[in-house]
Amino acid sequence: MTKDKKRKTAVREAQNATGSRYTRLAREMAAPRAGQAFRLADLLAECATLPHASVEWDFPEHYAPAVFDSALIGTAVPYGTVLELAGSLAQVGPGATITVESVSPLSQAVVVCRKRRFQLVLTQDMVNELCRQPECANTADSWAFTHCRDHLAECGTRALVSMARDWGRGRREEHDEDPAAVGGGTEADLLIKAAIAAVCFEPVRDALLDACFGDPDLFDDVYWDASQALAVQHALERERLRLYEVAQAEVRRIHKATGACVSCGKPLFAWNPGIPPTHCPSCAVPRTAEHRSPALA
Give me the amino acid identity at 288. Answer: T
The residue among 110 and 12 whose pLDDT is bigger is 110
Q: pLDDT tens, 204-253? A: 999 999 999 999 999 988 888 899 999 999 999 999 999 999 999 999 99
Which pLDDT band, with edges at 50, 70 and 90, does 289 fall under?
very low
What tens digit of pLDDT does each residue of 23-33 get?
655 655 555 55
Structural domain boundaries in the chain: 31-128, 156-292
**Does an H or E element contain 292, and which?**
helix 289-292
SS3 of 221-273: the string is HHCCCHHHHHHHHHHHHHHHHHHHHHHHHHHHHHHHHHCCCCCCCCCCCCCCC
Q: What is the pLDDT of residues 248-275, one digit of tens each?
A: 999 999 999 998 999 999 888 888 898 8
Indicate left, alpha or beta for 259 from its phi (over 0: left) and psi (-120 to 50: alpha): left
Question: CA 215, CA 172: separation in Å to the nearest integer?
Answer: 13
Give the SS3 label for residue 117: strand
Q: For the residues of 141-208, what is the DSSP string, one character each?
A: SSTT-SS-TTTGGGG-HHHHHHHHHHHHHHHHHHTTT-GGG----HHHHHHHHHHHHTT-HHHHHHHH
